[in-house]
Structure 1
Amino acid sequence: MTPVAKPNPDKRSLLRRRAASFGHAFRGIWLALRSELHLQFHAAATVIVVGLGFYFELTATEWMLVAVAVGTVWTAELVNTAIEALTDLVSPEYHPLAGKAKDVAAGAVLVAAVAALVVGLFIFGPRVLALVH
């Protein structure tokens, strides 16, 4: 009879660490969502956009564009939140470089949001106009 190989403890440990890293990531998203008003706005916008996507029966390509746009905005907002928190930690007093870091990070969110708005206007604009007319 062939002995049954026992799972490698290093592999189990690696799997646990990987699972824990996902847990940390989801906790980070949840913490940011609970504390950041702008992220809450983006969450509401995401729900509306997804609802409109189902209503207007977007094509697969349109869904991909919407997903990339939404994901980019969420990513920028989460990175901005992390930069703001880290900046506040290392520079509790005002410093011009700390202000610059925060402003640039906020600018990245603005660029992502404007790009997402443009995608939304191209995809949803004609459909909404067709409903109005």
Structure 2
Amino acid sequence: MTSGAKLFYGLAVFFLVMDVAYILGTKYLVETNRVLGTEWAGVTGFSLALLLSLMLAVYLHLTDNKTDIGPSDWEMAEIEDGAGVLGFFSAGSIWPLQLTIAVMMVAYGLAFWHFWLIVAGVIFLIWGSVMMNLQYGVARDDH
């Protein structure tokens, strides 16, 4: 089992214990001589965190069964064993900033319920994601 799967299984157990403690703590909490009920917002948050960490742990566990052992799980590994090409990174690209602004527009539109801002943000989001994907597929003169 990979170290990542172990980490997320442990996190799932932690969230399960915290969820049970939160349910019992809020159900039987006595404040000024009256018994309060269970506080469901926190229970929902802990339950969703439990499900998310369990989902990631199962995914990493199943993926590990299909792949070869990685350098992070090999006891005799050196730092150099994990080195190599990690992928292409475009440091001079403006499109991640544009996508961030578009997501911010959508979020503010949803938060303040401005339909025009939601529509403008979605349009900018689609345009920015298309342009980021086509950034190196279009000739430099056509930009």
TM-score range, shorter chain: 0.3 to 0.5
Q: Which has the higher helix share?
A: 1
User: RCO greater where, 1 or 2, for CA within 8 Å and sep 6 or more?
Assistant: 1
Give TM-score scaled by structure 1 length. Answer: 0.37
Bigger Rg, structure 1 or 2: 2
